[in-house]
Amino acid sequence: MLEIRNLHAKVDGREILQGLDLVINAGEMHAIMGPNGSGKSTLSYVLAGRDGYEVTAGSVLFEGHDLLALKPEERARAGIFLAFQYPVEVPGVPSATFLKTAVNAVRKARGEKEYDAFEFLKLMKAKRDALGMSEDMLKRPLNVGFSGGEKKRNEVLQMALLEPRFMVLDETDSGLDVDALRVVAAGINALRRADRAMLVITHYQRLLDHVRPDVVHILSKGRIVRSGGPELALELEAKGFAGVMPGAAA
Amino acid sequence: MAALARKPATTIPFGYGAEAVARPNEPAWLTSKRAAARAVLAAGLPSPRVESWKYTNLQAFATQAFAMLSDGPADAPLALLKQTTIDRPSHRVVFVDGRFAPALSNVGAVPSGVTIRSLDDAISSDEFVVARRFGALADASSNAIAALNAAHGSGGVVIALARGASLTEPVHLVFIATASDRAMAFHPRVLIEAGEGSALTLIESHVSEAGAYWSNPVAEIAVARDATVRHWTLQDQARDATHLALNAVSLAQGARYESVLLAIGAGLARHEFDVAIEGEHAEVSLDGGYLIGGTQHSDHTTRIVHKVGHASTREVYKGVLDGRARGVFQGTIVVEPGADKTDAHQLSRTLMLSVGAEADAKPELMIYADDVKCSHGASSGALDPAQLFYLRSRGIGEAAARALLVEGFIAETIERIADEKVRAYFTRAAGDGLRAHGGALS
Ligand SMILES: Nc1ncnc2c1ncn2[C@@H]1O[C@H](COP(=O)(O)OP(=O)(O)O)[C@@H](O)[C@H]1O
Ligand SMILES: [Mg+2]
């Protein structure tokens, strides 16, 4: 589904991604773990198409098409979703208005019928309840005054509503207490399907107790230095990043 | 609709003399007030050399020829009547081309102690009271907009609430300008007296067909002890129009005045507030939003004087500027000697959508008391790229994302309107305004 080959990307003139290779097939969930500053968020922004993240070499194919040629909104409509590490506050734009605009923009692009206000409210209520979010929260401006945990739930809500094919979750677990983590993890698991794939970026094993990745990768200095099964995350938890780097004493 | 049969219009000369031109059936006090105003204007309209008119130049405006409608039937295009319809009950007072249109108005039953009358009616039944209020707050000797209105004015509305009286439904003043082969001028005067402990919600709509005209409304609003006046104004006039407006307000002890102004229209517009806080524990809240493009000029000049202490002012102006539009915010807050424990905060923000637009912000706090909490801030910037990317990453196209952000910026002003239906009316106008600017003013 997603094929990243020899990806190099610069931010502010500095090369952050330095030859990253990653192939994710439909139905799979991959996890990327790596120290702060290793380029995890940079990778997620490059995939989502943020300005200022300049790809200097390599390619990204999404279902065989050149993802990097698309604008951010075209990527979203094609089925790419990024749950932001730091969701952006947008004063003055009610969450519900934003959600409806986004969902209908995506549906329209996919040739599906746009929801009317009533249909949308019904849909939103169902998804919202599953994530334990109040109606009042969605009347408030997008992410403004939301706690860290509320922002992350809101990301998962958007993901559930947009029904993407490929999802990148950038530290969606950080800032969540144990209960919220369980709810968010359930939201993520509910989206797993044979025709979808996920890339979960995290710092901690803790999320991986709830969502079970098929493959775990270690990212260091803009490159994947080790890949393995779920046991790699446990090893990392025990030994720290230095201990799992290739060449480290076993 | 059928063409209007109009009586001949008189042309406004911008050269003034001090001579009193009495109008038929006009009381002598009004003639003399107009004469006094003309005497003030004889020195000419304010030039950019006058500090408070530094950013707004009336010289080109004053070369235009305007005509005043002496009389004739008042009728209005259905589209504008519909456009100004709010989906809630209100006492609707309609003016067409500056004249009260009883047939289009709809003032419901009001509680005892409340009167809503045309200025002419009020003069004939309560001349003494009107004479006392007219010009009491809008000072023609120091304010050019007040002087122009007094010099040329005819018509208006008088709303009075006796002690403890409250109107549950808002009064909606609708000022409609129709297309005309001559550029017309309107100078309505609105006199509001909110008696002790009374409550009034006033909505003002200024709308028009396309065309050039001059709208020059002046409102004098006296808010007595513990009374509340909410004042929500939509200025959505034709791009060729000139709009020179003044709201002169006084507050007694414990009084509240809350204004929300949304200014979308007119080629050249100046919206002035002149607020005098006369009593302790009075509260003033002024919100202004302007949404302009092309070559529009929108000036917001406010002056709030804290004459006594223990009162508060909250003032937030937000402008969206596209094309070669120019926005002006001049906010003066004066805290007079002895007005301790004054709490006054002012903020001006502009969103610049093009490099050709210009914003001038001149906050001015003049504080002559010691123990006060006052602040002001002004900022100006483009749309936030992080917000834009966030919206686009959810599938929203760039133009739609920009429009959402601009609407969101202005929505913070509109949200200050406490009534949901009125809020919806303003939101619709802002949305239409955005679209009229050609796709998110981009
Ligand atoms: N917008 C930016 N401007 C400048 N440097 C950036 C920017 N974003 C990321 N970086 C730098 O790129 C490196 C990788 O950052 P990031 O991808 O956020 O790491 P991670 O998510 O793994 O913690 C860091 O050194 C960071 O300082
Ligand atoms: Mg990161």
Q: What is the interface pTM, i.e. ipTM, of the complex?
A: 0.96
Determine the Cα–Cα distance for residues B65 and B390; give it in Å rounded to an integer: 51
Residue B60 lies in a domain: yes
Q: Which residues in chain B (51-70) have CB-CB distances under 8 A to chain A? A: none
The label of the residue with tokens 């065989």 reads A64
Nearest to B396 among A50, A51, A105 (CB): A105
H-helix or E-strand containing A175? none
What separation in angstroms does the CA of B396 have from each of A76, A116, B147, B389? 8, 17, 50, 9
Distance from CA of A223 to the nearest CA of B (A): 24
Determine the Cα–Cα distance for residues A92 and A89; give it in Å rounded to an integer: 10
- For chain B, the distance separating the N- and C-terminal CA atoms, rounded to the nearest angstrom, is 35
What separation in angstroms does the CA of A180 have from each of A161, A209, B106, B252? 19, 14, 55, 52
**Ligand 1: which atom is nearest the Cα of residue A219?**
22
Q: Find the ligand nearest to A218 CA.
A: 1
What separation in angstroms does the CA of B154 have from each of A145, B8, B151, B159, B410? 50, 16, 9, 16, 34
Q: What is the extent of the structural domain holding A180?
A: 2-244
Q: Find the ligand nearest to A171 CA.
A: 2
Residue B203 lies in a domain: yes
* 3-state helix, strand and coil shares in percent for chain A, rounded to the nearest 5: 40, 30, 30
Residue A11 corresponds to which amino acid?
V
- Six token digits for residue A46: 């490059």
Strand, helix or coil at A182? helix
Q: What pLDDT is stored for residue B25 in this prediction?
A: 79
A246: exposed, middle or buried (Cβ count in 10 Å: 0-12, 13-18, 19+) = exposed
Contact A98/B391, CB-based, under 8 Å? yes
Determine the Cα–Cα distance for residues B40 and B144; give it in Å rounded to an integer: 8
Report how many domains make up chain A: 1
What share of chain A in percent tops pLDDT 70? 99
* Ligand 1 binding pocket includes A41 (Cβ within 6 Å): yes
Q: How far is the CA of A107 from the centre of ligand 2 (A)?
A: 30
**Ligand 1: which atom is nearest the Cα of residue A34?**
22
* Ligand 1 binding pocket includes A16 (Cβ within 6 Å): yes
- Would you give the distance in Å from CA B360 to the centre of its chain? 20
Q: What pLDDT is stored for residue B1 in this prediction?
A: 35
DSSP secondary structure code for residue B67 in this structure: E
Q: How far is the CA of A216 from the centre of ligand 1 (A)?
A: 21
pLDDT tens digits for range B325-341: 999 999 999 999 999 99
Residue A150 lies in a domain: yes
Determine the Cα–Cα distance for residues B221 and B207; give it in Å rounded to an integer: 22
Q: Does B420 touch chain A (CB under 8 A)?
A: no
**Ligand 1: which atom is nearest the Cα of residue A53?**
1
Q: How many residues does chain B have?
A: 442
Residue nearest atom 9 of ligand 1, based on CA coordinates: A42
- Give CA angle at A194 (A189, A200), nearest 5°: 45
Q: Does B131 touch chain A (CB under 8 A)?
A: no
Contact A102/B409, CB-based, under 8 Å? no
Distance from CA of A247 to the nearest CA of B (A): 39
CATH number of the domain residue A22 falls in: 3.40.50.300
Distance from CA of A18 to the nearest CA of B (A): 24
* Ligand 1 binding pocket includes A44 (Cβ within 6 Å): no
For A91, the closest chain B residue by CA position comes to B408
Q: Does B407 touch chain A (CB under 8 A)?
A: yes
Q: What pLDDT is stored for residue A156 in this prediction?
A: 92
Q: What is the extent of the structural domain holding B150?
A: 10-383
What b-and-e string marks burial along B153-164, b requiring 16 or more CB atoms within 10 Å of the CB? bbbbbbbbbbee
Residue A68 corresponds to which amino acid?
L
Chain B environment of A87 (Cβ under 8 Å)? 390
* Ligand 1 binding pocket includes A42 (Cβ within 6 Å): yes
Determine the Cα–Cα distance for residues A121 and A200; give it in Å rounded to an integer: 29
Residue B353 lies in a domain: yes
Pairing of strands B256-263, B283-292: parallel
Q: Is the pTM of this model over 0.90?
A: no
All residues at 6 or more sequence positions from A220 whose CB lies less than 8 Å from its CB, including other chains: A34, A35, A38, A241, A245
Contact B387/A141, CB-based, under 8 Å? no
B171: exposed, middle or buried (Cβ count in 10 Å: 0-12, 13-18, 19+) = buried
- CB-CB neighbours of A189 under 10 Å: 13
Chain A environment of B410 (Cβ under 8 Å)? 92
Residue B403 lies in a domain: no
CB A58 within 8 A of CB A108: no
Residue B83 lies in a domain: yes
Residue B152 lies in a domain: yes
**A vs B: CB pairs below 8 A:** 81
Residue B266 phi/psi, 5-degree rounding, is: 70, 145
Contact B392/A73, CB-based, under 8 Å? yes
Distance from CA of A174 to the nearest CA of B (A): 19
Chain A environment of B408 (Cβ under 8 Å)? 90-93, 141
- Where does residue B98 fall: left (phi above 0), alpha (psi -120 to 50 degrees), or beta otherwise? left
Q: Does B2 touch chain A (CB under 8 A)?
A: no
Q: How far is the CA of B265 from the centre of ligand 1 (A)?
A: 45
B55: exposed, middle or buried (Cβ count in 10 Å: 0-12, 13-18, 19+) = buried
Q: How far is the CA of A41 from the centre of ligand 2 (A)?
A: 4
Q: How far is the CA of A86 from the centre of ligand 1 (A)?
A: 13
Q: Does B255 touch chain A (CB under 8 A)?
A: no
Residue B392 lies in a domain: no
Q: Does B404 touch chain A (CB under 8 A)?
A: yes
pLDDT tens digits for range A43-87: 999 999 999 999 999 999 999 999 999 999 999 999 999 999 999
Residue A249 lies in a domain: no
For B410, the closest chain A residue by CA position comes to A92
Nearest to B175 by CA among B260, B88, B245, B257: B245
Determine the Cα–Cα distance for residues B43 and B36; give it in Å rounded to an integer: 12
Q: What pLDDT is stored for residue B434 in this prediction?
A: 82
Strand, helix or coil at B199? strand
Chain A environment of B396 (Cβ under 8 Å)? 73, 98, 101-102, 105
Q: What pLDDT is stored for residue B67 in this prediction?
A: 80
Q: If you average pLDDT over every residue of chain A, what do you get?
A: 92
H-helix or E-strand containing B290? strand B283-292
What separation in angstroms does the CA of B93 have from each of B11, B112, B140, B168, B204? 27, 19, 26, 16, 10
Q: Which residues in chain B (360-389) have CB-CB distances under 8 A to chain A? A: 385-387, 389
Residue A250 lies in a domain: no
For A99, the closest chain B residue by CA position comes to B394
CB B230 within 8 A of CB B203: no
Determine the Cα–Cα distance for residues B241 and B266; give it in Å rounded to an integer: 5
CB A168 within 8 A of CB A30: no
Q: Does A50 touch chain B (CB under 8 A)?
A: yes
What separation in angstroms does the CA of A107 have from each of A104, A162, B331? 5, 8, 47
Q: What pLDDT is stored for residue B20 in this prediction?
A: 53
DSSP secondary structure, A15-78, as one string: EEEEEEEEEE-TT-EEEEE--TTSSHHHHHHHHHT-TTEEEEEEEEEETTEEGGGS-HHHHHHH
Which regions of chain B are under pLDDT 70? 1-22, 69-74, 437-442
Residue A88 lies in a domain: yes
Report how many domains make up chain B: 1
* Ligand 1 binding pocket includes A202 (Cβ within 6 Å): no
Instruction: Give the pLDDT means over successive 10-residue stretches in chain A (250 positions).
Output: 96 95 96 93 97 96 96 97 96 92 95 93 90 87 92 93 95 87 89 95 86 93 93 88 74
Distance from CA of A234 to the nearest CA of B (A): 33
pLDDT tens digits for range B104-153: 999 999 999 999 999 999 999 988 899 999 999 999 999 999 999 999 88
Nearest to B398 among A73, A91, A98 (CB): A73
